[in-house]
A = this chain, B = another copy of it.
Amino acid sequence: MTIDRLLEGLRQRDPRAIGRAISLVENGDESAEIILSSLDENLVSQATILGITGPPGAGKSTLTNEIIAKLRHQEERIGIIAIDPSSPISGGAILGDRIRMMQHATDKDVVMRSMATRGRLGGLCATAGAAVRIMASCGCSTIIIETVGVGQSEMDIIRLADITILVMAPGLGDEIQAMKAGLLEVADILVVNKADCKGADILAMDLEAVTRKGSATPTQVCMTVATEGKGVTELLDRIDKLDSEHRDSGERQKRRRGAHNQEVLDWCLEILRPQLLDKIIKRKLSVLGDPRLKAKKILEEK
C-alpha cells in the first residue's frame, strides 16, 4: 500500500488502513511522521479515552465486551487497545480472554488492536498514544485501553486515559487483592464485578473505606455482573457524568496535557535508546565496576 493510498484509506476510515497505520507507527517506519501529522486533531480532542484496568480474573474483558455492546446501540464507533503482558522476546501470545471480544470482530465499527509490552521499557506509551490518535481521527468517539493492572509500563499507559475504571472481583486471592493499593490511586471509578458472588459486598465496603481516607467525597463503587450485562448501563451513566464534569472543570485538559508531555518524553527516550545501546555495546565494557559511573561518562562525551 503506498502512503497516498493509506492516507486516503484513513480519510475513508477504512479499518484495514487504520490497522496498517498503527503497525507502521509501531514498527518505527519512516511514514509514521506523515501519518501522525495528517490526523484530524479536532476529532482527537473530542474523543473520550477510557482506561479499564484490574487484576487477572476480575472480568475486565467481559465487562469491556458489554460496554462495547451498549455503546454500539448508541451507534458509536469504538476503538479498543488491549495491552498484553506478554513475551519480551517474540511479542507473544494474545490472552485467551481476548478471544471473547471476537463477538464484535465482524463489526467494522469496532476497531481492535492488541499490543504486546514487548522487549522495551519505554515506547509502549508512545505507540499506544499514537494508536489512540489514529483511531480517534478515524471516527472512534470512544477508545478503550484495556490492561492488566500490574507493572510499571501498564500503569503508565493508563495515564493516557481521560477516565480510568478499576475492575475488581471477590475471591481472587491475597496476592491479587494486594495489587489493588497501587491501582486505587489511578482509578476514577471503582467496579466490583461478579457482584453476585460471595464476598462482593465486603469487597465494595472495603474499597469504599480505603477511598474515603483523605477525601471529602468517598468514591461510590459500581456493582456489575458483566456475564449477565447487569449494572453496565449504570456504569456508563457514571462514566458520562464524570466525563462531563472533567470537561467543564478543566481536569480533562489537564490530564491530556500531562499525557501529551509523557508521550513526548517517551518518544525522546525511544529515539535515544538504540543510539545509546549501540554506543555501550561498541565500548566492550568490562562487567566489573560501577554502571552508573560508566553511564555518566558516556553521556558526558556526547
Contact = CB atoms under 8 A, between A and B. Distances in A.
Interface residues of A, number: 85
Contacts of A44: 288
A264 B298 contact: yes
A118 B261 contact: no
Interface in A169-201: 173-179, 181-182, 185-186
A43 to B, nearest CB: 11
Interface in A132-190: 148, 150-156, 173-179, 181-182, 185-186
A156 B120 CA distance: 8
A1 interface: no
B288 A261 contact: no
B152 A124 contact: yes
Interface in A64-97: 85-90, 92-93, 95-97
Contacts of A117: 151-152, 155
A181 B93 contact: yes
Nearest to A37: B290
Contact of A150 (B120, B151, B271): B151
Contacts of A120: 152
Interface in A256-302: 256-257, 260-261, 263-273, 276-277, 280-281, 285, 287-296, 298-299
B153 A97 contact: no
Interface in A219-261: 253, 256-257, 260-261
Contact of A280 (B32, B265, B296): B265
Nearest to A158: B88
Contacts of A51: none
B287 A175 contact: no
Contacts of A19: none
A285 B261 contact: yes
B268 A93 contact: no
A296 B264 CA distance: 9
Given A260-B291, A265-B280, 20 more contacts: A37-B289, A41-B289, A87-B185, A88-B185, A92-B182, A95-B178, A117-B152, A117-B155, A126-B291, A126-B292, A129-B291, A152-B152, A256-B287, A261-B277, A261-B280, A261-B281, A266-B291, A268-B272, A268-B295, A269-B276
- Please give me the 7 A-B residue pairs with the lowest Cβ-Cβ distance, nearest first: A151-B151, A267-B295, A87-B182, A93-B181, A263-B291, A36-B290, A56-B175
30 contacts: A36-B293, A41-B288, A45-B288, A56-B173, A57-B175, A88-B155, A88-B156, A89-B185, A89-B186, A92-B181, A96-B174, A97-B174, A97-B178, A117-B152, A121-B121, A130-B291, A130-B292, A151-B153, A153-B153, A260-B287, A261-B281, A261-B285, A264-B280, A265-B273, A265-B277, A267-B291, A267-B296, A268-B280, A268-B295, A271-B299
